[in-house]
């Protein structure tokens, strides 16, 4: 959490700083104007503590994690993130000393004219600064991506964020280049910006020597801290006790005490899911612990929170957080290839019984869509239809569980109480009807007949969990009540309506059937008949004018 918070503070500074560079395409004066505005905060006492405190804490946490990471076997993205992060500080020190420290120690305000002029008088400095900009940005973008990809809304926002991730460094570099080009005549005139810059800054030799000492001291400090961390890590791995992990594959792995189960497994070359890179956020690394459970150290707060979120039973632990001191037997609960989509699924893969609303949605007469249409047009139409239904689910807190050719299964109540789930399901049905009509209006010229849907909704107990082939699991639900919802959807054809909803669902939602006809139907999986309502337009249940 602290790493995320400090990273976000530094990211806020970086984004502002890069946008400031981008103003170089306007003028150097515009850059200086924005810089003064940003400096009013970042150079104030609270801004200074926030920024440099965050930078130092972020770096310290990276060293701690490097120390605790007792194996350097890791996925490529984690390795890239670590290397880029460690490259930033030694590359940045000269820039910070030349700008911020010069101001702090001597009150010299190094404006954009001086710093850009100084850099552009040396092609090596231009390349260095540009590389630094790209490294900082890549580290930031990786960090944000691997943090947000576990959020349910991220896939929808990803194209916009990706465009911003490309655009911001591009315009920052364009601004830097434009500012350099505009200053070039002045640089040539004074025979090199370095002389021009130092004269303007009015620094004495002693002051300059002191700055050089600062720069060298900070650089040495960085390398010494890094070397000390690596040495401590190496010593810890070689001195001290070991423990054994008995993996469900039959392998027995010996690892030094202090190493996490995930590190031990990876070091042995066994693939294991780890979507968030060991930050106790995704829970994809979870394992069921057999022998040795009682002797495990208790879960720390971050692990305990993550396990509580997925309602994990007591014998489940996060492999990335758990550091055994004695032998344990473990079984991975997710396939090694589990990805962010699995991590975003709202529950536990072990399966649990829960009272939920199952809703089947079916596109009527979908086979006729293929008549006299190119396959491309049919796929386009179906994708438009599914996009609208998906938006309706999102707007009503529904979970898209399964695709069924020309329909889908949605679940309500995975994280809410049944009464609320019933209300949300009916809102979802109303929103689907509204979106379908809008889609029909926009496609009127292409459709012989408007698209129609049938919806079946029923509340009841079901088994929910992650299921399916090991390399493509989905989060879904099974049980008699799910089958009942499917049958209700099928009845919409016989009743000539859009929605068939069970009386239980309406009662639990506290919603009046609004004059919809009641039917007593027989469904497989139930001995007694089920009361259902055939609703022409789901919006009437909510009192929405049609
Ligand atoms: S790897 Fe994400 S919680 Fe363990």
Q: Within a 13 Å sphere around the CA of 23, how many CA atoms are in the beta-carbon half?
A: 16
Residue 132 CB-density burial (10 A; 0-12 exposed, 13-18 middle, 19+ buried): middle
Residue of 265, 278, 301, 330 best suited for mutating to test ligand 1, as the one with most atoms within 8 Å of CB? 278
Q: Is 318 in the pocket of ligand 1 (CB under 6 A)?
A: yes
Between the CA of 68 and the centroid of ligand 1 the distance, in Å, is: 15
What ligand 1 atom has the least distance to the C-alpha of 277? 1
Phi first, then psi: give them for residue 353, nearest 5 degrees. -95, 135
Residue of 263, 276, 310 best suited for mutating to test ligand 1, as the one with most atoms within 8 Å of CB? 276
CA distance 391 to 74: 37
Other beta carbons within 10 angstroms of residue 83's beta carbon come to 11
Average pLDDT over the chain reads: 85
pLDDT tens, 355-393?
999 999 999 887 777 666 666 677 888 888 998 998 899
Greater confidence, 205 or 243?
Answer: 243
Residue of 77, 320, 335, 345 best suited for mutating to test ligand 1, as the one with most atoms within 8 Å of CB? 320
Q: At what angle do helices 112-120 and 154-189 cross, to 10 degrees?
A: 80
CA distance 517 to 444: 31
Best-predicted range by mean pLDDT among 80-94, 267-281, 420-434, 435-449?
A: 420-434
Contacts for 343 with CB less than 8 Å, ≥ 6 apart? 149, 150, 275, 276, 281, 282, 283, 284
pLDDT tens, 129-155?
899 999 999 999 988 888 887 777 777
Q: Is 345 in the pocket of ligand 1 (CB under 6 A)?
A: no
Between the CA of 281 and the centroid of ligand 1 the distance, in Å, is: 6
Q: Is 322 in the pocket of ligand 1 (CB under 6 A)?
A: no
Q: Is 272 in the pocket of ligand 1 (CB under 6 A)?
A: no
pTM: 0.54
What ligand 1 atom has the least distance to the C-alpha of 282? 2
Q: Is 332 in the pocket of ligand 1 (CB under 6 A)?
A: no
What ligand 1 atom has the least distance to the C-alpha of 273? 1
Kindly give the pairing relationship between strand 499-502 and strand 453-467. parallel
When pLDDT is averaged across residues 306-332 and rounded to a whole number, the result is 89
């Amino acid at each position: 959490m602290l790493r995320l918070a400090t990273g976000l503070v530094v990211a806020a500074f970086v984004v502002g700083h890069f946008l400031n560079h981008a103003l170089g395409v306007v003028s150097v004066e515009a850059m200086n104007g924005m810089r003064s505005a940003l400096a009013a905060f970042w150079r104030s006492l609270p801004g200074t503590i926030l920024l440099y405190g965050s930078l130092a804490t972020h770096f310290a946490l990276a060293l701690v994690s490097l120390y605790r990471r007792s194996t350097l076997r890791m996925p490529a993205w984690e390795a890239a993130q670590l290397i880029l992060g460690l490259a930033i500080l030694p590359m940045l020190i000269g820039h910070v000393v030349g700008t911020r420290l010069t101001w702090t120690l001597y009150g010299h305000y190094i404006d954009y004219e001086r710093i850009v002029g100084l850099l552009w008088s040396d092609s090596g400095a231009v390349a260095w600064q540009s590389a630094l900009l790209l490294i900082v940005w890549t580290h930031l973008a990786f960090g944000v991506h691997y943090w947000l990809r576990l959020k349910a809304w991220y896939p929808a926002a990803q194209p916009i964020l990706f465009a911003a991730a490309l655009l911001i460094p591009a315009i920052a570099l364009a601004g830097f280049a434009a500012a350099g080009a505009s200053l070039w005549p002045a640089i040539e005139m004074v025979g090199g910006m370095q002389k021009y810059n130092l004269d303007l800054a009015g620094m004495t030799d002693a002051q300059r020597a002191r700055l050089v000492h600062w720069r060298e001291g900070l650089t040495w400090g960085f390398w010494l801290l890094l070397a000390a961390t690596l040495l401590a890590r190496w010593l810890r791995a070689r001195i001290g006790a070991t423990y054994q992990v008995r993996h469900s594959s039959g392998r027995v792995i010996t690892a030094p005490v202090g190493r996490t189960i995930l590190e031990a497994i990876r070091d042995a070359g066994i693939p294991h899911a780890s979507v968030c890179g060991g930050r106790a956020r995704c829970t994809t690394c979870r394992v069921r612990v057999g022998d040795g459970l009682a002797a495990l150290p208790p879960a720390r707060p971050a692990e305990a929170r993550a396990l509580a979120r997925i309602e994990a039973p007591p014998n489940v632990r996060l492999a990335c957080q758990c550091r055994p001191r004695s032998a344990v037997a473990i079984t991975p609960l997710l396939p090694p290839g589990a990805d962010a989509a699995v991590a975003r699924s709202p529950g536990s893969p072990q399966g649990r019984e829960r009272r939920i609303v199952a809703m089947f949605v079916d596109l009527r007469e979908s086979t006729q869509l293929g008549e006299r249409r190119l396959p491309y047009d049919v796929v386009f139409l179906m994708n438009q239809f599914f996009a609208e239904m998906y938006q309706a689910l999102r707007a009503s807190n529904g979970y898209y569980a399964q695709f069924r050719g020309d329909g889908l299964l949605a679940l309500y109540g995975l994280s809410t109480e049944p009464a609320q789930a019933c209300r949300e399901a009916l809102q979802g049905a109303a929103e689907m009807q509204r979106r379908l009509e809008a889609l029909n209006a926009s496609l009127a010229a292409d459709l012989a007949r408007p698209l129609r849907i049938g919806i079946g909704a029923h509340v009841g107990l079901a088994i929910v969990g992650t299921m399916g082939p090991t390399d493509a699991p989905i989060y879904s639900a099974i049980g008699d009540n799910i089958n009942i919802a499917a049958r209700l959807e099928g009845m919409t054809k016989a009743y000539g309506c859009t929605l068939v909803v069970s009386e239980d669902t309406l009662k639990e939602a506290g919603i009046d059937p609004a004059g919809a006809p009641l039917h007593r139907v027989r469904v497989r999986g139930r001995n007694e008949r089920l009361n259902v309502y055939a609703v022409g337009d789901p919006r009437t249940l909510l009192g929405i004018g049609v």
